[in-house]
Structure 1
Amino acid sequence: MPRPLPSVLSHVLFAALLCAASLMPGTLSTAQAAPDKRNAPSRAIAYSTREDAMQFADEIAARRDLDRQWVRATIGNAKLLPNVPRLMLPAPTGTPKNWYVYRSRFIDPVRIQAGMRFWRNNASTLARAEAEFGVPAEIIVGIVGVETIYGRNMGSFRVIDALATLAFDFPESHPRARERQAFFRSELESFLSTESRTNENPLLPLGSYAGAMGMPQFMPSSIAKYAVDYDGDGRIDLVNNPVDVIGSVANYFKAFGWQPGMPPIFPVRFDEARLQKAVLLGPDIVPTFSADAFVAGGAVLDGEAQQFKGLLALIELQNGGDLPSYVAGTQNFYVITRYNWSSYYAMSVIELGREVRAAMEN
Structure 2
Amino acid sequence: MTSKKLLRVATVLIASCVLCTGTLAAKGAKKTPVSARQPAAGPAYATREDVMREADDIAQRRDLDRDWVRQAVGQARYLPAAARLMQPPPAGTPKNWRVYRSRFVEPIRIAAGVRFWQAHAGTLARAEQEYGVPAEIIVGIIGVETIYGQQMGNFRVMDALTTLAFDFPTSHPRARERAAFFKGELEQFLSQESRIGGDPMAPLGSYAGAMGMPQFMPSSWVKYAVDNDGDGRIDLVNSPSDVIGSVANYFKAFGWQPGMPTHYPVRFDAERLDKETLLLPDILPTFSVASFMAKGAVLEGEALQHPGPLALIELQNGGDEPSYVAGTENFYVITRYNWSSYYAMAVIELGQAVKSALPR
* TM-score past 0.5 threshold: yes
Distance, in Å, in 2 between the alignment partners of 1:230 and 1:141 is 16
Aligned residue number for residue 103 of structure 2: 105
For the residue of structure 2 that corresponds to 1:211, the secondary structure is coil
For the residue of structure 2 that corresponds to 1:155, the secondary structure is coil
Aligned residue number for residue 5 of structure 1: none
Q: CA deviation at 1:310?
A: 0.7
Aligned residue number for residue 327 of structure 1: 325
Aligned residue number for residue 301 of structure 1: 299
Partner residue of 1:283 out of 273, 281, 284:
281
Aligned residue number for residue 266 of structure 2: 268
For the residue of structure 2 that corresponds to 1:325, the secondary structure is strand
Q: CA deviation at 1:52?
A: 1.3
Query: Retained in 1: the 8 A contact 2:40–2:80?
Result: no
Aligned residue number for residue 56 of structure 1: 54
TM-score, normalising length: structure 1? 0.90
Aligned residue number for residue 12 of structure 1: none
Distance change >3 Å, CA 244–CA 31, structure 1 → 2: closer
For 1:145, the aligned partner's letter is G
For 2:334, the aligned partner's letter is I
Partner residue of 1:209 out of 190, 204, 207:
207
Larger radius of gyration: 1
Aligned residue number for residue 217 of structure 2: 219
For 1:276, the aligned partner's letter is D
Q: Does 1:36 align with 2:34?
A: no
Aligned-residue Cα RMSD (Å) equals 1.3
Distance, in Å, in 2 between the alignment partners of 1:126 and 1:30 is 28
Query: Retained in 1: the 8 A contact 2:213–2:237?
Result: yes
Aligned residue number for residue 16 of structure 1: none
- Quote the sequence identity (%): 71
Aligned residues: 331
Matches within 5 A, 1:1-362: 31-37=32-38, 39-42=39-42, 45-360=43-358
Query: Retained in 1: the 8 A contact 2:266–2:324?
Result: yes
For 2:221, the aligned partner's letter is I
Distance, in Å, in 1 between the alignment partners of 2:279 and 2:273 is 11
Q: CA deviation at 1:32?
A: 2.6
Q: CA deviation at 1:200?
A: 2.2
What per-residue deviation string (whole Å, max 9, x for no partner) do you get for residues 131-182 of structure 1? 1111000000000000000000000000000001111111111111100000
- Runs of 4+ aligned structure 1 residues displaced above 3 Å come to none
What per-residue deviation string (whole Å, max 9, x for no partner) do you get for residues 328-349 of structure 1? 0000000000000100000000
For the residue of structure 2 that corresponds to 1:52, the secondary structure is helix
Query: Retained in 2: the 8 A contact 1:163–1:185?
Result: yes
Distance, in Å, in 2 between the alignment partners of 1:280 and 1:31 is 50
Extract unaligned runs of 5+ from structure 2: 1-29
